[in-house]
Amino acid sequence: MASNILPPALKRVVENLSKLPGIGEKTATRLALFILRSPEDQAKELADSILNLHKSIRLCSICFTFSDQDPCPICSNPKRNKEIVCVVEDPGDLLAMEKAGEFKGRYHVLHGVLSPRDGIGPDELRLSQLKNRIEKEKIKEIIIATSPTVAGEATAAYISKILSDTDVKITRIACGIPMGMDIKYADPVTLKRALEARRPL
Ligand SMILES: [Zn+2]
């Protein structure tokens, strides 16, 4: 392997960068060389900002998203509708939802989906806390926005089951044809879901 000829200090950075999602050894080597060529101040700032993450970011005690304040800015915003809670897989999904700017309620961040093989069960996803929130915060609707993957669908079904003894309305985000896509290229499952989620014009 090419990395064997790297000086140990450079190899260490390459190995650590390779652990990041979507970064292979080739990209990691390119990034490590870029950092090495950059001014030392820039490298220091990068290292400091990464170290600071764990020091300053914690989980919001209400919705469990990452935040530097507790409750997070969304949970402490009086303009957000407390009665509607959107359940998302991770903080990245929350950010995507916020970027869309459509949702005015609050969130519940699972930090994963049910995956018995990886040891992720209901306790890891803070589902009992979700149930507690329904009563405490007088939540009227739970929108389940897990991804339309096998694990995401199984998680949505499980949440719906454990909340069936409450009065809360449970909805699932619609899945269908992405904007700009030609219908003939959509897979049959997506087309089926798009038809099921049709709405009046
Ligand atoms: Zn929060």
* Sign, CA torsion 5/7/8/13: negative
Encode pLDDT of 130-187 as tens digits: 999 999 999 999 999 999 888 999 999 999 999 999 999 999 998 888 888 898 988 8
80-174: what fold? Dna Topoisomerase Vi A Subunit; Chain: A, domain 2 (3.40.1360)
Q: Summarize pLDDT for 87-124 with one digit per residue, the tens.
A: 999 999 999 999 999 999 999 999 999 988 888 888 88
CA of 111 to the centre of ligand 1 (A): 13
Integer Cα distance of 41 and 169 in angstroms: 53
Half-sphere exposure (CA, 13 Å, Cβ side) for 99?
A: 6
Give residue 54 CA to ligand 1 midpoint distance, Å: 18
Q: Does domain 2-56 have CATH number 1.10.8.420?
A: yes
Can you give the pLDDT at residue 200?
85
Q: Which residues surround ligand 1, an ion (CB under 5 A)?
A: 60, 62-63, 71-72, 75
Instruction: Return the C-alpha torsion angle 70, 87, 54, 120, nearest 10.
Output: 130
The angle formed by the CA atoms of residues 108, 112 and 118, to the nearest 5 degrees, is 150
CA of 172 relative to ligand 1 center, distance in Å: 21
pLDDT at 39: 96
pLDDT band for 127, please (50, 70, 90 cuts): very high
- Each domain of the chain, given as residue ranges in start order, spans 2-56, 80-174
Tell me the pTM.
0.81
